[in-house]
Structure 1
Amino acid sequence: MKTHVMELQDGDRLKDDVFNRAGLHVLPKGTSIHKEEIALLIRQSIHYVDVEPGEDGDSLSGLDREDFAKRLKDNFERTLLGYQSIFLEALTAGKFNESMVEEKLKPLFEIIDQKKDVVSLLIMFGEEDGNLYNHSLQVGLMAYYIASWLGYTREECLEISKAGCLHDIGKSRLKKELRNYTGPFNEAQWDEVKRHTRYGYEIIRDSMPDEVPALVALQHHEREDGTGYPQGLRADEIHPYAKIVAVANTYVELTTRDKGKGKAGLLSMLREVYELGFGELNEKVVQALTRHLLPHFIGKQAQLSNGETATIVWNNPSDFFRPLVQVKDRFRDLSVEREIELKEIFI
């Protein structure tokens, strides 16, 4: 439905990618509209956009982003405690009760299913303690949004997200000292850590009739070029859900690794994931992640390789990491000025 920007409602969702008069990408399809997006459209002299009504439930109507962030974080923390009980049951009994998955993950899914614009929150969660439980839920959360950006149905997104939450359940069989250890590993330790994928498959198969979450646990470290483990599968042999969880897992691992290194870590992490999409990770999944994260940098200040401080104005849809930027009263198109690079973004 064509709607004037002044008539947009909080929570409306874009039906198509939005470009300005110069043909530069402004906002991706599926973006949830709020005051920041409306302001951006006005600045870009975009008067009409195609939208569909928002899916926010009554309990969320009127929530601004701060309220939603607090609500999601509260639900995330309650779900975290629930996930710990699932992990503990797998640790002690070698399997878990399938009904526990629905029950314990419900608080998180109740809210993320109602409002999908959480890119800033995913970044915020990257600053949290990167323990095994937190990591697993962050992967499940990221997998949900990537799946939605790829066009999966609500039910499929929830199934992919559950598989993402359970992808590391096999680590319950590892020695305690290896569960949260990030290395460097000696050869024996690394051989044991890699077994968590097979352990996860076995635990989930013993706990649930659906084999797909078990395949995701088994294959989330497989790579498109055959360099992954445990089976060295190639692109067509990897389950589509496992490809999504592999990207989500890589994203979360990198944000945890870069924690404390300053804001430059965010950009370097996105670039690293993007580059992995040309061999190891599925290109379509990586593109969905990148295309939906980078538009949120518009309006942010950035450090250029020539020492200048600039404001990101537009994204270049053909070269994600070379946007149009403004330096004082002049513009620089980094897709043309190839000798200058975007070095750091100030969030």
Structure 2
Amino acid sequence: MRVHFRDVQPGDRLTQDTFTDYGLLVLSKGAVLDDHALSRLHQHQIDYVEIERRAFGGSAVEENALPIQANFRPLYQDAVTGIESIFGKALEEGKVHEEDLKESFQPLVENFKTERDVVSLLLMLNSQDDYTYQHSVQVGMLSYYIARWMGWDEQESVRVGKAGFLHDIGKCRIPDAILNKPGKLNDEEYKEIQNHSRYGYEILESSFDDHVLSLAALQHHERMNGTGYPNRIPGEQIHPVSRIVAVADTYSAMISSRVYQKKRDLLVVLKELHRVSFSELDPEITYTFIRHMIPNFIGKKVELTGGLTGTIIMNHPTDFFHPLIQSDSGFIDLSTDVRYEITQVYV
């Protein structure tokens, strides 16, 4: 079972090797967690460990009952419901109310401060239901984390998170028949979809004194090479907050399951994100995002081409997307063994 460092009890025994974010071994499988072991976990900033299941009253704790599921899922669902309500009011009234934003987004922020395993959150929360609203919550979450990873202070990071949370508010004016169309959009429909950036700008300009929120809605589809929309402006004219939201928006959209798109694996999409950072997305922001996401994959179970399964145990220092895998048949170094590729990552 997977538990947070603070929930470890003396005498718990590890069922997996525990590594730092950089792949260095901290404690080996089978280690008993005494005061010295707990001190090592704290010293190396290890958030979660895998331990043997404990029995309470004759029944074992379910292996899938992860702390993040118990603590975060209700907050996430409340935020999805909250952003749906915000969309509805924005369509009716043409504005977003500060109290509605605070009520929906602030409880998530409090959890963001303690939860560092972003990959597990995304794996747990990503489903096809209510794509537009889930996407808004995910982009708000990722925008906050990216700002923190960029070294921005807490207040500014929360502001960026709010910008991500509201970036698609203009879609409230787009007909559902276009938003949820399973087939390819025609030229007129695609043009209307693009209008959501301008709609969002208008709504947020009439809602808040903070122009940055409006700019993020307007510019999150602009691209560094000037090929984006609605104004095809080059990178130096795109606000830094808009650039962060663009990275979060692109990643969330690429990993999400929709009526016209199958869910894509988180690690595979990071590789694609890296590719587009050379032309479309801010390279510094994208690299910061990738560099901080990659360590979260250590300890995750994976499926490889051919159906082989294993666990990521170490990241390659210069090749983020081809880690070292431990399978039942031994170790597989994806940076040198070209027979295999990761097809799916699990919690």
Q: Is the 8 A contact 1:302 1:342 kept in 2?
A: no
**What corresponds to 2:341 in structure 1?**
342
Q: Which moved more, 1:177-186 or 1:233-242?
A: 177-186
TM value normalised by structure 2? 0.76
State the 1:327 CA deviation.
5.5
**What corresponds to 2:91 in structure 1?**
91
How many Å separate the matches in 1 of 2:28 and 2:262?
A: 33
User: Residue 205 of structure 2 aligns to which amino acid in structure 1?
Assistant: R
1:276-329, Cα deviation, whole Å (9 max, x unpaired): 222211222222222233223334454555876554331012111122334667
Change (3 A) 1:149 1:10: farther
User: Residue 168 of structure 1 aligns to which amino acid in structure 2?
Assistant: D
Q: Does 1:151 align with 2:151?
A: yes
May I ask how many residue pairs the two structures share in their alignment?
307
Q: Calculate the aligned-residue CA RMSD, in Å.
A: 3.4
Q: Runs of 5+ in structure 2 lacking a partner?
A: 8-18, 32-36, 48-63
State the 1:265 CA deviation.
2.8
State the 1:202 CA deviation.
0.9
User: Residue 206 of structure 1 aligns to which amino acid in structure 2?
Assistant: S
User: Residue 342 of structure 1 aligns to which amino acid in structure 2?
Assistant: E
Match runs of 1:59-74 below 5 Å: 66-74=66-74
1:164-200, Cα deviation, whole Å (9 max, x unpaired): 1100111122224223446511000011110110111
**What corresponds to 1:254 in structure 2?**
254
Q: Is the 8 A contact 1:224 1:280 kept in 2?
A: yes
Change (3 A) 1:315 1:201: same
Change (3 A) 1:49 1:10: closer
1:10 to 6, 15, 31: 6
Q: Is the 8 A contact 1:72 1:112 kept in 2?
A: no
Query: Could you tell me the percent identity over the aligned residues?
Result: 37
2:21 to 17, 27, 37: 27
Change (3 A) 1:117 1:209: same
Change (3 A) 1:50 1:182: farther
Q: Is the 8 A contact 2:167 2:217 kept in 1?
A: yes
How many Å separate the matches in 2 of 1:211 and 1:270?
A: 30
Match runs of 1:126-137 below 5 Å: 126-137=126-137
Q: Which moved more, 1:126-135 or 1:213-222?
A: 126-135
Q: Which moved more, 1:218-227 or 1:129-138?
A: 129-138
Which SS does the other structure have where 2:117 is aligned? coil
1:202-253, Cα deviation, whole Å (9 max, x unpaired): 1100111110000000010111111111111222111111111111111111
User: Residue 217 of structure 2 aligns to which amino acid in structure 1?
Assistant: A
**What corresponds to 1:195 in structure 2?**
195
How many Å separate the matches in 2 of 1:80 and 1:303?
A: 30
Q: Does 1:41 align with 2:40?
A: no
Change (3 A) 1:341 1:243: farther
User: Residue 230 of structure 1 aligns to which amino acid in structure 2?
Assistant: P
Q: Does 1:273 align with 2:258?
A: no
Change (3 A) 1:10 1:279: farther
How many Å separate the matches in 2 of 1:104 and 1:311?
A: 36
1:81-112, Cα deviation, whole Å (9 max, x unpaired): 22222211210111122333223323322322
Q: Runs of 5+ in structure 1 lacking a partner?
A: 1-7, 12-24, 29-36, 55-63
User: Residue 245 of structure 1 aligns to which amino acid in structure 2?
Assistant: V
**What corresponds to 1:21 in structure 2?**
none
How many Å separate the matches in 1 of 2:310 and 2:111?
A: 36
**What corresponds to 2:10 in structure 1?**
none
